[in-house]
Each structure stands twice: as structure tokens, then as C-alpha cells.
């Protein structure tokens, strides 16, 4: 591992592009993990102790990402309110963004249902080993209180009773709570701006200064991405049960088919907005590839916002759609995944997953439950538990897919980010805020450099 990390350091000193270093880390991690699989048993003491050391790099990288999530979401939302062009129609724009995020999540749920049915996926087809049973018990213990909450109580849990507690990420809904808290401060700023422009200007300057500092911290963390990806993939592959992954191959294929269909729907939305989808794919590739390899929507937020700007989206709308997309309507994690799980699990309790009432209820619950999904790790699991509990389905069965979670999470994260960017682009187009000259400028493209 030290030698492989040294290879990435050498590539950085030779100024190899950031994207190439990330994919190199991904490839080296997979190869090294497979070598460890071949040389040792996944449960061997040597691999377990080595993986513990690998976590210094991989786990440290993820911890740093979690560290910056709340400040990043907070300052991004607040910064959107301080943008002058956004202050006049902020209500209409935020409504469009949130509406598109929820609507696309409902569509994603339908896509997930169709994929699960087309591939004839059922939970009874999956063997329950010790790891799956342990994961199921963990989920029941950790989220035992979720299934006891009524819908009004779940909605109430989104509100920031103590925003300082939510800044610690103590609750599963802390992300959306911080979004709401930042929105209140932003609305207060707009009110002060009408009465005392000097105070408002001072506040806006402070926000801009904090925004610049937070983004610099994010850049410092992103520099660790190639090393983090290498360590994470090595540990994941080395400790994975390849036989279990092979048995779950049909679910992996069905998941990626659904994710691809959802991405094509994003492209269709952009096309119907009168824009060239090829231009979007070319400019979005760096941020989507980063999201794919890092598996974090929150870590991709700065690149998300910069990419939207390169596509002609105004600052304020880019900040809103990127930040809202972290906690509302994640198409991959909160749309496709829980819908597929529900369809797979329903037959185990005697429910027909093809009944119109089940499908309609599932789509509605998925859309409503998409609020408050965290942007770093565990978001898909939390969304699935909310949906399964609301549908009165066995929660423990969500642990059956533990062996392929990292594999499908890469694709889910990329689709999450694409959905957030699509909402910003379409909203800008509908509000006549999109700069089409910037959108069509092939030279104005974000080059990931860290």
C-alpha cells in the first residue's frame, strides 16, 4: 500500500491530471484488493490487520469529508441568498428546484420498480449468511425508532430544534435541518437588506469570506481523493465475499440498468429544454466521475456548483440546486434503491408488488421520504429504511445486499449529482436565467485540479 501511495504522489509531482490520478487510484485499489483476495482468505488475520492500517488513509479521507459537509451545505445555501440577482424571485426558483428534485425522484422510483420487475428480483432469491443477518440486526437496532414515527412526526423531525446539534450531524435528518436553518437566515438577510443596506452588505461580505475559506478547505480535502479512493477500494475488494457478489450479480446489473435509464431521463429533460445534451455530458463528466469514484454527493458539491456555472447557471441557482440536491430528492439513493428493495421484499410478506395500489403508494412514499437523506455515506440505507417502515415491510431484509453496497453506491452517487445539476439547469432555463452562450462555449469547462 505504501508503494502504491508513492505512485500517486509521484503522479501528482509530475502534474498528472486530477481525474487520471483518481481513476488510477481506483484501478490500483481494485487490482491490489484482488491480489490480497488471491493470496489470503477475506477473513484472514493478515488481511484484517492490513485493512485496519488502510483505514488510516481511506477512513481518514471519509472522516474529513463528513467534517466539512455541514459547514459546506450551510454556507452554500446562505451564499445563494446573498446573490443580488436571486433575491427578487427566490421563492419561485426554490419552488422549481425542489419540485424538480421531488418529481425526478418519483420518476426514479418508477424506474426502479420497472427494473426490479423486469429482472424478476426477489429477496427470497438471496442467501442470508452471517454478514447479512448481522447487518439486518444492526439496521433494526439503529433505526428501531424510525418505524414507530408517524408521517407528521417524521416531518417534524426535519426541523432544526437545535441547529448547533445538527451541525454535529447527530441526527439522520441533520442535513435538511441545516438547510432549513440556513434558509431562515437567508430570508432574514433579505428583510434586513430592504431596511438597512449597510448592515446587509456587511453580512454579505462576511458570508462571502466564509464561503471562500470553506471552499478552500474543501479543495485541501479533495487533494486526498486519489489516496482515499485507493485505500477504500483496496479494503472493499480485499474484504468482499466474491462468491456473494457473484450471486447478487443480477441485482447489480438491474441497478445499473435503472441508473442508466435515469441518467437518460436527465438528458431528455435537458434536450426538451432546448439545450444540447452532448454539451452537458462533456462538461459534467469530471464531476460525475469524481462522484462515482468518491461515492460522496457532498464532497462533489463544489465541483457541482462550478460545473453548473460553466453551463451558464447563475451563482444563486447553482448553490441552491447543488445544496438542496444533497438532502432532497437524490434520484439514485432515495429514488431507485428503496423502490427496488420494496419490490423485492414485498412478496416475502404476501404483497403483490405489481398491484396498482402498491406501486402508487410506493412512488408517493419514496418521493416524500426523499427529504433529509444525508450526502455522505448511509444516505441510501436511511432512505430505504424510511420507505420500508412506511410500507410496513421487514427492515432487516435491507441488510441482504451488504456485499454489493459499495459497488452500486458509486453509480447511485453519480446519478444523485446529475439530478441536482439537471434541476439547476432546467430551472435556470424556465426562469430565463440561463446564459446559453456560456452553456455552448466548449472552452468554458471545469478542469478538476487539486
d(CA 298, CA 296): 5
Coil/strand/helix, residue 118: helix
**Model pLDDT, residue 387:** 82
Q: Report, as an integer, the average pLDDT of 77-98.
A: 78
Whether the predicted model's global pTM rises above the 0.85 cut: no
d(CA 175, CA 374): 6
Structural contact between residues 425 and 311, judged by C-beta atoms closer than 8 angstroms: yes
d(CA 162, CA 174): 10
Structural contact between residues 173 and 165, judged by C-beta atoms closer than 8 angstroms: no
Structural contact between residues 372 and 362, judged by C-beta atoms closer than 8 angstroms: no
**Model pLDDT, residue 393:** 80
8: β partners = none
Quick: pLDDT tens for 142-186: 555 555 566 677 677 778 888 888 888 777 677 778 888 988 998
Please name the residue ranges forming H helices in 90-247.
90-118, 130-142, 151-156, 163-166, 174-195, 197-222, 225-239, 242-247
Q: Report, as an integer, the average pLDDT of 393-411.
A: 73
Q: What is the mean pLDDT of the chain?
A: 83
d(CA 308, CA 329): 18
Q: Which of 176, 185, 184, 178 is nearest to 162 (CA)?
A: 178
Structural contact between residues 444 and 219, judged by C-beta atoms closer than 8 angstroms: no
Q: Which residue is it, cell 439496521?
A: 139
pLDDT band at 298 (very low <50, low <70, confident <90, very high): confident
Among 154-158, 375-379, 389-393, 432-436, whose mean pLDDT is lowest? 375-379
16-440 architecture in CATH? Answer: Orthogonal Bundle (1.10)
376: β partners = 296
Residues 6+ apart with CB under 8 A from 194: none
Structural contact between residues 229 and 120, judged by C-beta atoms closer than 8 angstroms: no
**Model pLDDT, residue 86:** 55
pLDDT of 282 > 70? The answer is yes
Structural contact between residues 325 and 420, judged by C-beta atoms closer than 8 angstroms: yes
Q: Report, as an integer, the average pLDDT of 191-200.
A: 88
Among 57-71, 160-174, 196-210, whose mean pLDDT is lowest? 160-174
Domain ranges of the chain: 16-440
Q: Which of 343, 390, 376 is nearest to 111 (CA)?
A: 343
pLDDT of 287 > 80? The answer is yes
d(CA 257, CA 265): 12
CA dihedral 390, 393, 397, 403 (to 10 degrees): -50
Coil/strand/helix, residue 371: strand
Residue 26: C-alpha distances to residues 41, 298, 353, 405 (Å): 22, 19, 37, 16
Structural contact between residues 115 and 258, judged by C-beta atoms closer than 8 angstroms: yes
Burial class of 375 by CB neighbour count within 10 A (0 to 12, 13 to 18, 19+): buried
Residues 6+ apart with CB under 8 A from 37: 237, 238, 240, 242
d(CA 288, CA 296): 11
**Model pLDDT, residue 372:** 58
Structural contact between residues 175 and 73, judged by C-beta atoms closer than 8 angstroms: yes
pLDDT band at 38 (very low <50, low <70, confident <90, very high): confident
Other beta carbons less than 10 A from residue 52's beta carbon:
11
**Model pLDDT, residue 443:** 76
CA within 13 Å, CB half, 31: 8
Other beta carbons less than 10 A from residue 2's beta carbon:
6
DSSP 380-439: HHHHHHHHHHHTT--SGGGGGGGGGHHHHHHHHHHHHHHHHHHHHHHHHHHTT---HHHH
d(CA 237, CA 100): 36
How many angstroms separate the most distant Cα atoms in the chain?
Answer: 71
What crossing angle do the helices spanning 90-118 and 405-430 adopt, rounded to 10°? 140
Among 200-204, 238-242, 360-364, 428-432, whose mean pLDDT is lowest? 238-242
Q: Report, as an integer, the average pLDDT of 410-435.
A: 92
Structural contact between residues 215 and 302, judged by C-beta atoms closer than 8 angstroms: yes
Amino acid at each position: 500500500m505504501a508503494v502504491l501511495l508513492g505512485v500517486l504522489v509521484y503522479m501528482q509531482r509530475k502534474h498528472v491530471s486530477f481525474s487520471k490520478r483518481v481513476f488510477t487510484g481506483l484501478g490500483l485499489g481494485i487490482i491490489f484488493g484482488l491480489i490480497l483476495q488471491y493470496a489470503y482468505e477475506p477473513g484472514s488475520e493478515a488481511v484484517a490487520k492490513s485493512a485496519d492500517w488502510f483505514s488510516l488513509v481511506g477512513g481518514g479521507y471519509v472522516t474529513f469529508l463528513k467534517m466539512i459537509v455541514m459547514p459546506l451545505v450551510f454556507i452554500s445555501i446562505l451564499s445563494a441568498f446573498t446573490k443580488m440577482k436571486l433575491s427578487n424571485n427566490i421563492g419561485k426558483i426554490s419552488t422549481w428546484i425542489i419540485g424538480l428534485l421531488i418529481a425526478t425522484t418519483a420518476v426514479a422510483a418508477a424506474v426502479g420498480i420497472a427494473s426490479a420487475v423486469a429482472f424478476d428480483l426477489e429477496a427470497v432469491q438471496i442467501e442470508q449468511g452471517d454478514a447479512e443477518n448481522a447487518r439486518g440486526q444492526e439496521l433494526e437496532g439503529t433505526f428501531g425508532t424510525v418505524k414507530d414515527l408517524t408521517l407528521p412526526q417524521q416531518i417534524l423531525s426535519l426541523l432544526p430544534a437545535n441547529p448547533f446539534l445538527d451541525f454535529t450531524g447527530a441526527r439522520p435528518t441533520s442535513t435538511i435541518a441545516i438547510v432549513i436553518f440556513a434558509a431562515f437566515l437567508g430570508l432574514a438577510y433579505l428583510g434586513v437588506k430592504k431596511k438597512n443596506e449597510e448592515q446587509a452588505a456587511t453580512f454579505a461580505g462576511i458570508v462571502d469570506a466564509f464561503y471562500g475559506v470553506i471552499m478552500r478547505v474543501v479543495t485541501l480535502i479533495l487533494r486526498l481523493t486519489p489516496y482515499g479512493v485507493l485505500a477504500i477500494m483496496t479494503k472493499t475488494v480485499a474484504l468482499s465475499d466474491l462468491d456473494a457478489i457473484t450471486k447478487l450479480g443480477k441485482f447489480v446489473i438491474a441497478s445499473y440498468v435503472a441508473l442508466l435509464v435515469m441518467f437518460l431521463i436527465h438528458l431528455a429533460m435537458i434536450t426538451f429544454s432546448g439545450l444540447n445534451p452532448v454539451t452537458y455530458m462533456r462538461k459534467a463528466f469530471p464531476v460525475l466521475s469524481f462522484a462515482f469514484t468518491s461515492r460522496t454527493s457532498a464532497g462533489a458539491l463544489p465541483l457541482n456548483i462550478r460545473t453548473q456555472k460553466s453551463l451558464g447557471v447563475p451563482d444563486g441557482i447553482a448553490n441552491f440546486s447543488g445544496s438542496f440536491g444533497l438532502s432532497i430528492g437524490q434520484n439514485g439513493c432515495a429514488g431507485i434503491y428503496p423502490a427496488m428493495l420494496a419490490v423485492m421484499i414485498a412478496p416475502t410478506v404476501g404483497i403483490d408488488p405489481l398491484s396498482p395500489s402498491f406501486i402508487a403508494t410506493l412512488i408517493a412514499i419514496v418521493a416524500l421520504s426523499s427529504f433529509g437523506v444525508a450526502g455522505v455515506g448511509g444516505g441510501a440505507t436511511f432512505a430505504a429504511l424510511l420507505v420500508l417502515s412506511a410500507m410496513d415491510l421487514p427492515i432487516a431484509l435491507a441488510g441482504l445486499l451488504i456485499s454489493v453496497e459499495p459497488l452500486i453506491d458509486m453509480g447511485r452517487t453519480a446519478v444523485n449529482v446529475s439530478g441536482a445539476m439537471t434541476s439547476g439547469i432546467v430551472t435556470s432555463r424556465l426562469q430565463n436565467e440561463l446564459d446559453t452562450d456560456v452553456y455552448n462555449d466548449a472552452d468554458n469547462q471545469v478542469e478538476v485540479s487539486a
